[in-house]
Chain A
Amino acid sequence: GAGVSQSPRYKVAKRGQDVALRCDPISGHVSLFWYQQALGQGPEFLTYFQNEAQLDKSGLPSDRFFAERPEGSVSTLKIQRTQQEDSAVYLCASSRLETQYFGPGTRLLVL
Chain B
Amino acid sequence: AQRVTQPEKLLSVFKGAPVELKCNYSYSGSPELFWYVQYSRQRLQLLLRHISRESIKGFTADLNKGETSFHLKKPFAQEEDSAMYYCALSPIISGNTPLVFGKGTRLSVIA
> Which residues of A line the B interface, CB within 8 A?
3-4, 30-31, 33, 35, 40-45, 48, 50, 56, 59, 91, 95, 97-105
Contacts and interface: CB of A to CB of B under 8 A. Distances in A.
Given A102-B44, A103-B43, A42 B86 contact: yes
Contacts of B103: 40-42
Nearest to B96: A31
Interface of B: 4, 6, 9, 32, 43-46, 49, 86, 88, 90, 94-96, 98-104
Residue from the set B6, B96, B101, B104 with the largest chain A CB neighbour count within 10 Å: B96
Interface of A is mostly: loop
Contacts, number: 54
Given A31-B96, A59-B98, A98-B32, A42 B46 contact: no
A97 B93 CA distance: 11
Nearest to B102: A42
Contacts of A41: 103-104
A92 to B, nearest CB: 10
Given A98-B96, A103-B43, 6 more contacts: A31-B96, A35-B99, A42-B88, A43-B99, A48-B98, A100-B46
A104 B101 contact: no
Contacts of A100: 46, 99
Contacts of B90: 98
Contact of B101 (A40, A43, A98, A99): A43
B32 A43 contact: no
A104 B40 CA distance: 12
A93 to B, nearest CB: 8
